[in-house]
Amino acid sequence: MSQAKRIALLTGASVLSVAAMSAQADEVTWWTPNFNEERARELVAQFEEEHPEITVNLEITVTNGLPERILTTLRSGSAPDLIDVQHPWVNGYAQNDLVMPLDDVLTDAEDYNEAAIDYVTWNDQLWAVPYRIEAMAVIFNKGDFEAAGLDPEAPPETWAELAEAAQALTGDGKFGFAITGGGEVGNTIFRSVPFVWMNGGDLISEDGTEAIINSPEAVEAVKYWTDMYVDLGVSPTSTLENDGTANRRLFIADTVSMYQSGQFDLASIAQENPDIDIGVMMQPHPEGKDPASILGGWSWVIPADAENPDEAKVLIEWLAQAENMGFYTDTFPARVSAMDMPRFDDPMLEVYGDMLPYGRPLPNHPNWVQISQAYFDGIQRILIGEMDAQESMDLAAEDIQALLD
């Protein structure tokens, strides 16, 4: 049967009919990040029991260098059948013909978070199935607040209050507010770009034609964020090497009092240091302005050159069932009906839920991976003292403009 005919037959088909067509399947290779590994293996075992005609080969990836690795394999002509990717990467893949549309798989978009669907839509087609959504907040140590004479029930709301609290919490080998300066680029994108947005700036113009990261509003925000390390000294001396995982470990070790992260860190903190009284606050914002966060998360894509796309679609449809998606995600599920699961009825998650309405998608541009790298390079130049915020963002804007042109 030709590939075109197989795809035509799949359109509008039920899960059962898709499964029946997959009876001759051999093996589906699925790339998933290491933080999903334990849950993925459990789901694969259940899937193979229900679908003995399909064998799933899990390949575990790591987030450091993952955007480049995925882009390389998508262009190689020998990609796996299914890949977990971050939402902002999807449109670039679609616009470069590297993944296949999945409208025949995701047929109930009304049961999905609208912003997540928008993330993976291009040219009126769906190019991924989102399974995870999240918006970062600030995790803090209530005990440290009390020891510093701060009220843990009234955490900072504004930038001025955050800087003041961070300085009060810093001393005797402890740091008040940890930022990221190393690891996978997304660590710094997700933590610093919301500060740019809160202040009225952005990386590129809305129409995607102009680099504006060197505007006064953007530079002021970048300076505020990097000054936590450069000027105030409230971020650890290891900031240049630290990613989100490193900051979590420092928090667990009682070396950091506040840091930005998602709800996926809460269980690890509670397990590894149950003595910490964990607090979660909204992202502090400039006086008179709103908070902001990147609406992040992950989706499943099928490469355009996948050897077993039909079988991969069967697997996605099964994984996207509400109970399976709700089990798989570290944060909130993209499917609305999965939010009814008991695991999401947790007071500790309330602030993260409150942040979701302030979540915004990153720009959709085919060169987004390279654009974000240029911005990250600019942040690092500031952190190492090579340039000040204006000079570095001017250079980042030049690099980004070349990618837009």
Residue range 213-242: mean pLDDT, rounded: 98
Q: Give the burial class of 341: count Cβ atoms within 10 A of its Cβ; 0-12 exposed, 13-18 middle, 19 or more buried.
A: middle
Q: Which helix (H) or strand (E) holds 121?
A: strand 121-122
Q: State the pLDDT at residue 20.
A: 36
Q: State the pLDDT at residue 271.
A: 96
Average pLDDT over the chain, rounded to whole? 92
Residues 6+ apart with CB under 8 A from 205: 211, 212
Per-residue confidence band for 2, with pLDDT thresholds at 50, 70 and 90 = very low
Q: State the pLDDT at residue 363.
A: 84
Q: What is the pLDDT of residues 162-208, one digit of tens each?
A: 999 999 999 999 999 999 999 989 899 999 999 999 999 999 999 99
Instruction: Yes or no: say if 131 and 334 are a contact pair by the CB < 8 Å rule.
Output: yes
Q: State the pLDDT at residue 21.
A: 40
Instruction: Yes or no: say if 286 and 199 are a contact pair by the CB < 8 Å rule.
Output: yes
Q: Which helix (H) or strand (E) holds 146?
A: helix 142-147
Q: Which of 74, 86, 97 is nearest to 306 (CA)?
A: 74
Per-residue confidence band for 251, with pLDDT thresholds at 50, 70 and 90 = very high
Q: What is the pLDDT of residues 317-332, one digit of tens each?
A: 999 999 999 999 988 9
Q: State the pLDDT at residue 293.
A: 94
Q: What is the pLDDT of residues 345-392, one digit of tens each?
A: 888 899 998 998 898 888 878 888 899 999 999 999 999 999 999 999
Per-residue confidence band for 41, with pLDDT thresholds at 50, 70 and 90 = very high
Q: What is the pLDDT of residues 357-370, one digit of tens each?
A: 898 888 878 888 89
Q: Which residues pair with 125 in a beta bridge?
A: 122
Instruction: Yes or no: say if 382 and 181 are a contact pair by the CB < 8 Å rule.
Output: no
Q: State the pLDDT at residue 387.
A: 98
Residue 15 has pLDDT above 70, yes or no: no
Q: Which of 167, 136, 152, 134 is nearest to 279 (CA)?
A: 152
Q: State the pLDDT at residue 11.
A: 39
Cα distances (Å, whole numbers) of residue 355 to 214, 284, 344, 349, 350: 27, 11, 15, 10, 9
- The domains of the chain, with CATH numbers, are 3-134+296-352 (3.40.190.10), 137-294+367-404 (3.40.190.10)
Interatomic CA distance for residues 132 and 39, integer angstroms: 14
- Residue with the larger pLDDT of the pair 369 and 402: 402
Q: Which residues pair with 59 in a beta bridge?
A: 31
Residue 344 has pLDDT above 80, yes or no: yes
